[in-house]
Amino acid sequence: MKKLFCLLSMMTAIWIVASGCTQTEQGVVGGAAAGGAIGGIIGHQSGETGAGAAIGAAGGAVLGGLIGHSQEHKADAHSSHIQPCPNGHEVDVTGYGPGALVRCPIDNSTFTVQ
């Protein structure tokens, strides 16, 4: 059990170091940490803590990377809700669907969201 606690504190340290990275990198590290911890617990019960942790970390890293990557794509889609008004001002059209009429806050011109 002491070994497992050591593993968990190590994973937590990696998680803190990685918190400044992109969401994909965070996902990989977070997934590896979670997978390693779960794998360690499963491995511990079957008498192979090290192997369980390694397998769990590898699987968790792949899964976490995929999750983190898809989150990044969602963020991209969200930040691209900027559209130019007829006079070229960049207007945030977040929350407006295609065809909605939006007013430019700078020159009060109206345009439809594409």
Interface residues toward Zn ion, by CB under 5 A: 85, 87, 89, 104, 106-107
Nearer to Zn ion, 47 or 88 (CB): 88
Minimum CB–partner distance for residue 83 and Zn ion (Å): 11
Nearer to Zn ion, 92 or 107 (CB): 107
E strand intervals along the chain: 82-84, 90-92, 101-103, 110-112
Minimum CB–partner distance for residue 41 and Zn ion (Å): 58
Minimum CB–partner distance for residue 88 and Zn ion (Å): 7
Nearer to Zn ion, 87 or 112 (CB): 87
Q: Which of 113, 80, 78 is nearest to 98 (CA)?
A: 113
Supply φ then ψ for residue 102, to 5 degrees.
-120, 140
Q: Which of 92, 7, 97 is nearest to 56 (CA)?
A: 7
